[in-house]
Amino acid sequence: MRKLGHEIAASLLELFLPASCLACGQPPVREERAVMLCRGCRNEIEPITEPLCTCCGQQFRNSGGGNHLCGLCLSDHYHFTMARALLRYTPPITKVISRFKYHGRTAALKTFRTLHEQIPVPGLIDRPDLIIPVPLHRKRLRERGFNQALLLARAFYPDHGSLIDFAVLERQRYTAPQTSLSGKARRQNLKKAFRVKNSEVVAGKRVLLIDDVFTTGTTVNECAAVLKKAGAKEVAVLTLARVD
């Protein structure tokens, strides 16, 4: 309750204080208000562009060629059909995401929504049957007060609220934060972490999973595996940012 009170106070402050850049705090000029980033920070944000891996969405550097599968995806590493992200996970967006996620700066959602409108996402399925945010365990949900993936899903798809289902996929195990682990430990950590509560809801559906950051893809891959097992026809992934 105390935390919630703090967040409401923070949101109220944001209403009355003059807008400041979400990354560096400088006041943005009028035309930059839509993204709430000053010109310098807006210019430093790096949208992911082609050529990229048609499966995991990794951006290829200094490649004059077209899109193709990366080495990892050639070996059928992932359970999802495709993963796409709007931005590279580099400063200053790293700072904006961390303030949003860990300090409740939900004003950033307006920015994320605008970036989603402005940045093309090549090859992503355009008419999913179901939009599912990666769930938090209820203990973490209580600690944080909100699920960032759900808020992102609503910001990205403001007109498709009826497609967003935040209950059907459940995080049943409280796990260590993935950021503290690497490689195999990440996969071990998430074993049996997710379950589908009602497979009828996902059976035969084209699902779009939403998360904030794609790091190694372990989390969304676990979710995709569980959803596919429950009968989902296809699982695609959209994240706000992606680690190279």
Binding of Zn ion at residue 73 (CB under 5 A)?
Answer: yes
Q: How far is 186 from 206, CA to CA, in rounded Å?
A: 26
Residue 16, SS3? helix
∠237-240-244 over CA atoms, to 5°? 85
Under rule CB under 5 A, how many of the chain's residues touch Zn ion? 10
- Only one of the segments 5-13, 49-57, 177-185, 199-207 lies at the binding site for Zn ion (rule: CB under 5 A); that segment is 49-57
At 116, give phi and psi (nearest 5°): -65, -35
Contact flag: residue 224 with Zn ion (CB under 5 A): no
Which residues within the stretch 171-200 sit at the binding site for Zn ion (CB under 5 A)? Answer: none
Dist. CA 147–CA 137, nearest whole Å: 9
To the nearest whole angstrom, how small is the minimum distance from the Cβ of residue 229 to Zn ion? 22
CB of 8 vs Zn ion, minimal distance in Å? 25
Least Å from the CB of residue 55 to Zn ion: 5
Q: Which residue has the tokens 């709430």?
A: 36
In whole angstroms, what is the distance from residue 46 CA to residue 200 CA?
39
> What are the residues facing 84 on neighbouring strands?
238
Q: Which two tokens stand for residue 127?
A: 């008419």
Q: Is 223 in the site for Zn ion (CB under 5 A)?
A: no
Q: Is 86 in the site for Zn ion (CB under 5 A)?
A: no
> In this chain, which stretch among 10-18, 55-63, 79-87, 228-236 interacts with Zn ion, using CB under 5 A?
55-63
Q: Which of 55, 86, 131, 232 binds Zn ion (CB under 5 A)?
A: 55
Number of helical H runs and strand E runs in the chain: 10, 6
Binds Zn ion (CB under 5 A): choice among 10, 19, 24, 121:
24
- Considering only residues 70, 124, 141, 225, which one is a binding residue for Zn ion as defined by CB under 5 A? 70
Please give the residue ranges that form the binding site for Zn ion (CB under 5 A): 21, 23-24, 38, 41, 53, 55-56, 70, 73
